[in-house]
């Protein structure tokens, strides 16, 4: 009885109310979608177009840079195969330089293209980019202060490679170290020292670079002879030795100019110095100097011209020396009757009378 009373007192449900609400919500959703579907479609198409253009442009630029580098390496190898190419082109140096430049250019191109694409996508979503750019700027400044040495090394390495200041195989003087370059990197350069040690030089620490392998070198030899020698005979002997050297291998290849006798570099009481120079292949000056000294010494010996230091002067004058030159001068004290001897004779003591 109680259950029937409760059922009678409860309000009867209205089946049409829930259906109307659902239909109204569905209508509102459909209307909202209908109002915004064009915006969504245009935004999606814009983002898709931005991504497609960025990916395509990045692929084309990277491929163009790769083809350009490969073409540079092929041209360097073709020139190296010729007789003159071995003197002018270092294939390993050209390859490393082109690969380093290509890596930098590809990284810069990818960063610029993809970074611009990301900003355009965010802009398509109506996102305010001002706070994001400000935060990125602050983070970039903090990173720059924290890693300024790394940034300095990287930028210095990029400009060294772009300007072709040195390359693999060059002999350089970098101030902090010197030797032959065995590897060029964007941050560190490896040098092989004279004793075989390897120096790792940070590019940011290099303040000045002296490249001893570019252009040409100068070989200089000083010939010191006695001042009594005839200059024309000395010149003729040196010129004959130099002409013979220029006609023989491998010196004919290493000498890039005639051997010149510049003249007297110094004139002293006991010697005179003749200066001899020659333009040589880069890095070959020391070997040319040694060979020039060897040949000039032989030519002067054949011509009877003696160099200072070859034969001691004491040996030359030994036969004509005065035999009495080493004898001491006679002394006045040698004669007992000389006034000097009498003056130096001690006075005898007075005689005493013993009888007293």
Q: Rounded mean pLDDT of the chain?
A: 76
What 3-state class would DSSP assign to 338? coil
Interior/surface letters 73-90, b for 16+ CB within 10 angstroms, e for the rest:
beebeeebeeeeeeeebb
State the pairing for strand pair 272-280/188-192: unpaired
137, 142, 146, 149 alpha-carbon torsion, rounded to 10°: 30
Per-residue pLDDT, 313: 46
Give the global pTM: 0.49
pLDDT over 70 percentage in the chain: 71
pLDDT band at 267 (very low <50, low <70, confident <90, very high): confident
- Summarised one tens digit per residue, pLDDT across range 41-85 is 778 888 889 899 999 999 999 898 888 888 877 765 555 555 444
Angle between helix 15-80 and helix 91-124 axes, rounded to 10 deg: 160
Per-residue pLDDT, 77: 59
What 3-state class would DSSP assign to 201? strand
pLDDT band at 330 (very low <50, low <70, confident <90, very high): low
Q: How far apart are CA 199 and CA 35, in angstroms?
A: 69
- Summarised one tens digit per residue, pLDDT across range 189-218 is 999 988 889 999 998 888 888 888 777 888
- Summarised one tens digit per residue, pLDDT across range 133-145 is 777 777 777 766 6
């Amino acid at each position: 009885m109680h259950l029937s009373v409760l059922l009678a007192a409860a309000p009867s449900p209205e089946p049409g109310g829930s259906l109307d609400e659902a239909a109204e919500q569905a209508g509102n959703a459909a209307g909202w979608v209908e109002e915004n579907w064009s915006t969504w479609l245009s935004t999606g198409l814009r983002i898709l177009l931005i991504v497609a253009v960025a990916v395509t442009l990045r692929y084309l630029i990277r491929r163009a840079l790769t083809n350009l580098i490969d073409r540079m390496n092929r041209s360097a190898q073709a020139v190296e195969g010729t007789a003159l190419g071995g003197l002018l082109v270092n294939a390993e140096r050209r390859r490393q330089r082109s690969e380093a430049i290509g890596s930098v250019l590809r990284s810069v191109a990818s960063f610029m293209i993809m970074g611009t694409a990301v900003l355009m996508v965010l802009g398509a979503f109506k996102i305010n980019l001002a706070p994001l750019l400000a935060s990125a700027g602050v983070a970039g400044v903090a990173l720059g202060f924290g890693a300024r040495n790394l940034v300095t090394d990287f930028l210095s390495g990029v400009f060294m490679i772009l300007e072709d200041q040195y390359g693999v195989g060059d002999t350089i003087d970098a101030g902090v170290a010197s030797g032959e370059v065995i590897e060029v990197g964007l941050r560190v350069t490896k040098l092989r020292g004279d004793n075989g040690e390897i120096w790792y030089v940070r590019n940011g620490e290099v303040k000045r670079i002296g490249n001893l392998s570019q252009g040409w070198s100068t070989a200089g030899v000083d010939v010191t002879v006695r001042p009594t020698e005839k200059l024309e005979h000395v010149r003729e002997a040196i010129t004959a030795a130099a002409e013979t050297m220029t006609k023989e291998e491998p010196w004919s290849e290493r000498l890039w100019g005639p051997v010149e006798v510049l003249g007297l570099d110094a004139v002293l009481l006991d010697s005179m110095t003749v200066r001899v120079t020659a333009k040589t292949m880069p890095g070959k000056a020391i070997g040319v100097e040694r060979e020039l000294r060897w040949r000039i010494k032989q030519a002067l010996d054949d011509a009877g011209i003696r160099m200072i230091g070859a034969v001691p002067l004491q040996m030359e004058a030994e036969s004509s020396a005065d035999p009495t030159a080493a004898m001491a001068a006679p002394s006045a004290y040698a004669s007992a009757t000389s006034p000097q001897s009498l003056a130096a004779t001690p006075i005898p003591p007075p005689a005493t009378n013993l009888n007293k």
